[in-house]
Chain A
Amino acid sequence: MRLLVTASEIMGLPVVTVDGGEDLAEVRDVIYSPGEGTLAGLTLNKRGFLAGRLRAVLPAADIHAIGRHAVMVRDETSLSSPDAAPEGVGSPDAKRDVVGDDVLTEGGVSLGTVRDLVLLVGSKGEVIGYQIDTTDGGKGFIPLPAQLSVSGSTLVVPDVTKDFVTQDLVGLGASVDDFRARLGLS
């Protein structure tokens, strides 16, 4: 059983050290690398009421685990200044946001538009699928790795993706393995 969360559920979660049990920051936003289909890192806010943006960022490599109630890091040194962080985390590309992009199959069928990213709970931030607004006005989830190319306004995904559109996160968790098997990925 896979536990999944959407990127919007991560925003506002505290960033807590495993070693010290201290909350260093909270998640401001998710930095996503659409080309790779992976999380690049997290931008952060200071903790507390009306606290504002923290300059430091959290590269994905330094995430210990993303959970339902907190993002865990080893200790204070896990946060990086934007200059020291890997490219793409310190100064993220403006086109990195896939939310609102059209999801198009290779056969030219639109499945809908991207609403949110879906991540695997307990991982370092593995992006496992997208939540989409389907063309018939409903909501659905599609598994990754699915996109063949990404332009900044459109994701192109394999035709079989349309057979793996599920209605909820539990369904997505169950369909990911079948989907990857079908594509010969695992």
Chain B
Amino acid sequence: MSETYRQTIGRKVVSRASAQELGPVSDLLYDARRRRISGLVLGHGRKARIVDWSQVSGFGPDAILVSDDDALREPAGEREEQAGKGKLSLVGARVLTEKGNEIGTVDDIVFDPADGSVVALLLGDRELPATALLGAGSYAAVVSADQDTAI
């Protein structure tokens, strides 16, 4: 089973306890060190809220179920605030190799909805294994030197 970033954006998030619709997914939080999706972002700017991955109880094709309404929390820290403003999205990020050469932009992310682990990054017609990703931030996603097509 795999999901992609682009398929997930816009999917509704529903509370299992109240059956209330909490909103559509606007972005995914990414933990570069653990190579996992670490949470969902709902809404934008000041209204942005975070759902930690641990709160997700069901990841289905039509909706993402979370335990209850309290699963939503305010963005904490600089990274999450940037993410709420849409400035930290891995999809659309420029990709630099650790050699300092640009090889494209991230078009999509493939991940396993069972545990949020990232399987691959898609760059145009190239598929990079998640293990190639060394770090990701506001300027670029950095991948290992063996992905460098320039040298």
A contact residues vs B (CB 8 Å cutoff):
1, 3, 13-14, 16-23, 64-72, 121-122
**A21 near B100 (CB under 8 angstroms)?**
no
Partner among B93, B98, B139, B151 whose Cβ is within 8 Å of the Cβ of A64: B98
**B101 near A121 (CB under 8 angstroms)?**
yes
B96 (CB) vs chain A CBs: closest residue: A70
**A20 near B96 (CB under 8 angstroms)?**
no
CB distance from B115 to the nearest CB of A (A): 23
CB distance from B91 to the nearest CB of A (A): 14
Pick from A14, A121, A122 the residue with the most CB of B within 10 Å. Answer: A122
B115-146 CB mask vs A (1 if < 8 Å, else 0) is 00000000000000000001111111110010
In the bound complex, residues from chain B placing their C-beta under 8 Å from that of A23 are: 138-140
Partner among B93, B137, B150, B151 whose Cβ is within 8 Å of the Cβ of A20: B137
B95 (CB) vs chain A CBs: closest residue: A21
A23 (CB) vs chain B CBs: closest residue: B139
In the bound complex, residues from chain B placing their C-beta under 8 Å from that of A65 are: 98-100, 145
**B98 near A3 (CB under 8 angstroms)?**
no
Partner among A1, A13, A21 whose Cβ is within 8 Å of the Cβ of B138: A21
Distance, CA A65 to CA B96, complexed state (A)? 11
Q: Does B102 contact A (CB under 8 A)?
A: yes
**Known pairs A20-B137, A21-B135, A122-B99. 18 more at Cβ < 8 A?**
A3-B150, A16-B142, A18-B98, A18-B134, A18-B135, A19-B134, A20-B32, A20-B135, A20-B136, A22-B138, A64-B98, A67-B97, A69-B96, A70-B100, A70-B140, A71-B100, A72-B99, A121-B99
Distance, CA A22 to CA B102, complexed state (A)? 14
**B98 near A72 (CB under 8 angstroms)?**
yes
Q: B interface, by DSSP: helix, strand, loop or mixed? A: loop
In the bound complex, residues from chain B placing their C-beta under 8 Å from that of A67 are: 96-97, 99-102, 150
**What would 16 A/B residue contacts be, using CB atoms closer than 8 Å?**
A16-B139, A17-B142, A18-B142, A19-B134, A22-B138, A22-B139, A23-B138, A23-B139, A67-B100, A68-B100, A69-B100, A72-B96, A122-B99, A122-B101, A122-B145, A122-B151
Distance, CA A20 to CA B137, complexed state (A)? 5
**B96 near A16 (CB under 8 angstroms)?**
yes
A1 (CB) vs chain B CBs: closest residue: B151
Distance, CA A77 to CA B30, complexed state (A)? 23
Distance, CA A67 to CA B145, complexed state (A)? 11
Q: A65-B99, A68-B100, A69-B100 are in contact. Are A121 and B134 (CB under 8 A)?
A: no
B144 (CB) vs chain A CBs: closest residue: A18
A69 (CB) vs chain B CBs: closest residue: B102
CB distance from A88 to the nearest CB of B (A): 23
**A21 near B99 (CB under 8 angstroms)?**
no
Distance, CA A122 to CA B97, complexed state (A)? 10
**A121 near B139 (CB under 8 angstroms)?**
no
Distance, CA A3 to CA B93, complexed state (A)? 25
In the bound complex, residues from chain A placing their C-beta under 8 Å from that of B141 are: 21
**B100 near A22 (CB under 8 angstroms)?**
no
CB distance from A140 to the nearest CB of B (A): 25
In the bound complex, residues from chain B placing their C-beta under 8 Å from that of A17 are: 135, 137, 142
B45-83 CB mask vs A (1 if < 8 Å, else 0) is 000000000000000000000000000000000000000
